[in-house]
Amino acid sequence: AKELLKISDSKAVQCFNEVGLLVRSQPSVLGKILFVAERIIGQKALEKLEIRKMFRYSSATVDDLQRSVLDRVYREACENALDEEEATMAPAREADVLKLSQGEADNIFRSVVLERQRLREEEAAKALEAEQQALSSE
Protein backbone atom coordinates (compact mmCIF):
# COMPACT_ATOMS: atom_id res chain seq x y z
CA ALA A 1 0.00 0.00 0.00
CA LYS A 2 2.85 2.36 0.86
CA GLU A 3 4.38 1.81 -2.56
CA LEU A 4 1.10 2.48 -4.36
CA LEU A 5 0.64 5.71 -2.47
CA LYS A 6 4.32 6.60 -2.91
CA ILE A 7 4.86 7.18 0.81
CA SER A 8 8.39 6.69 2.08
CA ASP A 9 9.14 4.89 5.33
CA SER A 10 10.36 8.14 6.88
CA LYS A 11 7.13 9.94 5.95
CA ALA A 12 5.07 7.01 7.26
CA VAL A 13 7.01 7.06 10.55
CA GLN A 14 6.43 10.80 10.86
CA CYS A 15 2.68 10.39 10.25
CA PHE A 16 2.34 7.48 12.67
CA ASN A 17 4.26 9.39 15.35
CA GLU A 18 1.99 12.44 14.90
CA VAL A 19 -1.16 10.33 15.11
CA GLY A 20 0.27 8.54 18.14
CA LEU A 21 0.66 11.86 19.94
CA LEU A 22 -2.98 12.68 19.22
CA VAL A 23 -4.29 9.41 20.69
CA ARG A 24 -1.71 8.61 23.37
CA SER A 25 -4.36 8.91 26.09
CA GLN A 26 -6.29 6.08 24.38
CA PRO A 27 -4.10 2.99 24.80
CA SER A 28 -6.41 0.74 22.79
CA VAL A 29 -6.27 3.02 19.75
CA LEU A 30 -2.55 3.60 20.23
CA GLY A 31 -2.02 -0.18 20.27
CA LYS A 32 -3.87 -0.60 16.98
CA ILE A 33 -1.83 2.18 15.39
CA LEU A 34 1.38 0.53 16.60
CA PHE A 35 0.20 -2.82 15.22
CA VAL A 36 -0.44 -1.37 11.76
CA ALA A 37 2.73 0.73 11.77
CA GLU A 38 4.97 -2.22 12.62
CA ARG A 39 3.56 -4.15 9.68
CA ILE A 40 3.83 -1.34 7.14
CA ILE A 41 7.12 0.33 7.96
CA GLY A 42 10.43 -1.23 6.97
CA GLN A 43 12.58 -2.75 9.72
CA LYS A 44 15.27 -0.06 9.55
CA ALA A 45 12.79 2.83 9.82
CA LEU A 46 11.03 1.25 12.80
CA GLU A 47 13.86 2.53 15.01
CA LYS A 48 12.44 6.04 14.56
CA LEU A 49 8.90 5.03 15.47
CA GLU A 50 8.10 6.67 18.82
CA ILE A 51 4.73 5.02 19.53
CA ARG A 52 6.09 2.33 21.87
CA LYS A 53 7.45 5.06 24.14
CA MET A 54 3.99 6.65 24.41
CA PHE A 55 2.53 3.77 26.40
CA ARG A 56 2.44 3.91 30.18
CA TYR A 57 3.18 0.18 30.26
CA SER A 58 6.47 -1.63 30.28
CA SER A 59 7.96 -2.75 26.99
CA ALA A 60 7.20 -6.37 27.90
CA THR A 61 3.53 -5.53 28.47
CA VAL A 62 3.33 -3.72 25.12
CA ASP A 63 4.95 -6.75 23.46
CA ASP A 64 2.40 -9.07 25.09
CA LEU A 65 -0.50 -6.86 24.02
CA GLN A 66 0.80 -6.67 20.46
CA ARG A 67 1.25 -10.44 20.34
CA SER A 68 -2.32 -10.85 21.54
CA VAL A 69 -3.59 -8.62 18.72
CA LEU A 70 -1.47 -10.53 16.21
CA ASP A 71 -2.80 -13.89 17.40
CA ARG A 72 -6.39 -12.67 17.32
CA VAL A 73 -6.10 -11.19 13.82
CA TYR A 74 -4.42 -14.28 12.38
CA ARG A 75 -6.84 -16.65 14.12
CA GLU A 76 -9.67 -14.74 12.47
CA ALA A 77 -7.94 -15.09 9.09
CA CYS A 78 -7.64 -18.84 9.72
CA GLU A 79 -11.32 -19.07 10.71
CA ASN A 80 -12.31 -17.22 7.54
CA ALA A 81 -10.15 -19.49 5.38
CA LEU A 82 -11.70 -22.57 6.99
CA ASP A 83 -15.22 -21.14 6.56
CA GLU A 84 -14.73 -20.27 2.90
CA GLU A 85 -13.08 -23.51 1.86
CA GLU A 86 -11.63 -26.66 3.26
CA ALA A 87 -8.28 -25.05 3.94
CA THR A 88 -5.53 -27.49 4.81
CA MET A 89 -2.72 -24.98 5.21
CA ALA A 90 -2.21 -21.77 7.13
CA PRO A 91 -3.22 -18.73 5.05
CA ALA A 92 0.15 -17.65 3.64
CA ARG A 93 -0.77 -14.22 2.28
CA GLU A 94 -2.20 -13.10 5.60
CA ALA A 95 0.80 -14.50 7.49
CA ASP A 96 3.12 -12.57 5.20
CA VAL A 97 1.22 -9.30 5.66
CA LEU A 98 1.24 -9.79 9.43
CA LYS A 99 4.96 -10.63 9.37
CA LEU A 100 4.41 -14.07 10.91
CA SER A 101 6.95 -16.79 10.28
CA GLN A 102 5.71 -19.95 8.59
CA GLY A 103 6.18 -21.84 11.85
CA GLU A 104 4.13 -19.32 13.85
CA ALA A 105 1.41 -19.32 11.19
CA ASP A 106 1.30 -23.12 11.13
CA ASN A 107 1.05 -23.30 14.94
CA ILE A 108 -1.83 -20.83 15.07
CA PHE A 109 -3.61 -22.55 12.17
CA ARG A 110 -3.25 -25.95 13.86
CA SER A 111 -4.65 -24.59 17.11
CA VAL A 112 -7.68 -23.16 15.26
CA VAL A 113 -8.27 -26.49 13.51
CA LEU A 114 -7.95 -28.40 16.81
CA GLU A 115 -10.31 -26.00 18.58
CA ARG A 116 -12.91 -26.44 15.82
CA GLN A 117 -12.52 -30.20 16.06
CA ARG A 118 -12.94 -30.09 19.84
CA LEU A 119 -16.11 -27.99 19.49
CA ARG A 120 -17.55 -30.39 16.88
CA GLU A 121 -16.84 -33.34 19.16
CA GLU A 122 -18.51 -31.54 22.08
CA GLU A 123 -21.57 -30.79 19.96
CA ALA A 124 -21.74 -34.40 18.76
CA ALA A 125 -21.48 -35.69 22.33
CA LYS A 126 -24.26 -33.33 23.47
CA ALA A 127 -26.47 -34.39 20.55
CA LEU A 128 -25.86 -38.07 21.33
CA GLU A 129 -26.62 -37.50 25.01
CA ALA A 130 -29.85 -35.65 24.15
CA GLU A 131 -30.84 -38.46 21.78
CA GLN A 132 -30.14 -41.10 24.43
CA GLN A 133 -32.16 -39.17 27.01
CA ALA A 134 -35.04 -38.85 24.56
CA LEU A 135 -34.96 -42.60 23.86
CA SER A 136 -34.77 -43.53 27.54
CA SER A 137 -37.71 -41.30 28.45
CA GLU A 138 -39.99 -43.00 25.89
Q: 6-24: b or e for each residue (b if 16 or more CB lie within 10 Å)? A: eeebeebbeebbebbeebb
Q: Do residues 30 and 55 make contact, with C-beta atoms less than 8 angstroms apart?
A: yes
- Compute the radius of gyration of the chain from its Cα atoms: 21
> Phi-psi bin for 99: left (phi > 0), alpha (psi -120 to 50), beta?
left
* Tens-place pLDDT, residues 34-55: 999 999 999 999 999 999 999 9
Residue 6 falls in which region: left (phi positive, over 0), alpha (psi -120 to 50) or beta: left
pLDDT in tens, the chain (138 residues): 566 678 899 999 999 999 999 999 999 999 999 999 999 999 999 999 999 999 999 999 999 999 999 999 999 999 999 998 777 899 999 999 999 999 999 999 999 999 999 999 999 999 999 888 888 877
